[in-house]
Chain A
Amino acid sequence: MKIAIASGKGGTGKTTVATCLAQVLAETGLRVRYLDCDVEEPNGHLFLHPEIYESKPVTVPVPEVDREKCVGCGLCAKICQYAAIACVKKKVVTFPELCHGCGGCARVCPAGAIREVGRGIGVAETGRSCKIDFAQGCLRVGEAMSPSLIRQVRDIPTGAELDIIDAPPGTSCPAITAIRGADFVLLVTEPTPFGLNDLALALDMVRELDIPRAVVVNRHEDENLSARKFCSERHVQIAAEIPDDRRVAEAYSQGLLPVIALPEYRPYFLDLWANVNKLATGTPGKEPA
Chain B
Amino acid sequence: MKIAVTSEGSTLEAAVDPRFGRCKYFIVVDTDTGAFEAVDNVQNLNAAQGAGIQSAETVVNQGAEAVLTGHCGPKAFRTLSTGEVKIYVGVEGTVREAVEAFKAGKLQASENADVEGHW
* Chain A interface residues toward B at CB < 8 A: 77, 82-84, 86-89, 91, 93, 95, 98
CB distance from B3 to the nearest CB of A (A): 16
Contact of B50 among A87, A89, A91, A98 (CB under 8 A): A98
CB distance from B74 to the nearest CB of A (A): 9
> From residue 38 to 90 of chain B, which have CB atoms closer than 8 A to chain A?
47, 49-51, 53-54, 56-57, 60-61, 75, 78-80, 82-84
Known: A83-B51, A89-B83. 8 other contacts (CB 8 A): A86-B82, A88-B82, A89-B82, A91-B82, A93-B79, A95-B53, A98-B49, A98-B50
Say whether B79 contacts A86, CB under 8 Å: yes
Smallest CB-CB separation from A83: which chain B residue?
A: B50
Say whether B47 contacts A89, CB under 8 Å: no
Interchain CA distance A83-B47 in the complex, whole Å: 10
Chain A residues contacting B56 (CB-CB under 8 Å) are 86, 88
Smallest CB-CB separation from A77: which chain B residue?
A: B57
Interchain CA distance A98-B61 in the complex, whole Å: 22
Please classify how large the interface on chain B is, using the bins under 10, 10 to 19, 20 to 34, 35 or more. 10 to 19
Interchain CA distance A98-B21 in the complex, whole Å: 15
Q: What is the count of residue pairs linking A and B with beta-carbon distances less than 8 angstroms?
A: 40
Chain A residues contacting B50 (CB-CB under 8 Å) are 82-84, 95, 98
Interchain CA distance A5-B118 in the complex, whole Å: 34
Closest 5 CB pairs of A and B: A83-B50, A88-B83, A88-B60, A83-B53, A93-B82
The binding surface of chain A is classed by DSSP as mixed
Taken residue by residue from 26 to 43, chain B's Cβ proximity to chain A (1 for < 8 Å, 0 otherwise) reads as 000000000000000000
* Chain B interface residues toward A at CB < 8 A: 47, 49-51, 53-54, 56-57, 60-61, 75, 78-80, 82-84
Chain B residues contacting A84 (CB-CB under 8 Å) are 50
Interchain CA distance A123-B80 in the complex, whole Å: 34
Say whether A88 contacts B49, CB under 8 Å: no
Also in contact, A82 and B49, with CB within 8 A (given A77-B57, A88-B60, A89-B60): yes
Smallest CB-CB separation from A85: which chain B residue?
A: B53
Interchain CA distance A86-B54 in the complex, whole Å: 8
Chain B residues contacting A89 (CB-CB under 8 Å) are 60, 82-84
Q: Which among B54, B56, B79, B84 has the greatest number of chain A C-beta atoms within 10 A? A: B79
Smallest CB-CB separation from A84: which chain B residue?
A: B50
Interchain CA distance A93-B84 in the complex, whole Å: 13
Chain B residues contacting A95 (CB-CB under 8 Å) are 50, 53, 75
25 contacts between A and B (CB under 8 A): A77-B57, A82-B49, A82-B50, A83-B47, A83-B53, A84-B50, A86-B53, A86-B54, A88-B57, A88-B61, A88-B79, A88-B82, A88-B83, A89-B60, A89-B82, A89-B83, A89-B84, A91-B82, A91-B83, A93-B78, A93-B79, A93-B82, A95-B53, A98-B49, A98-B50
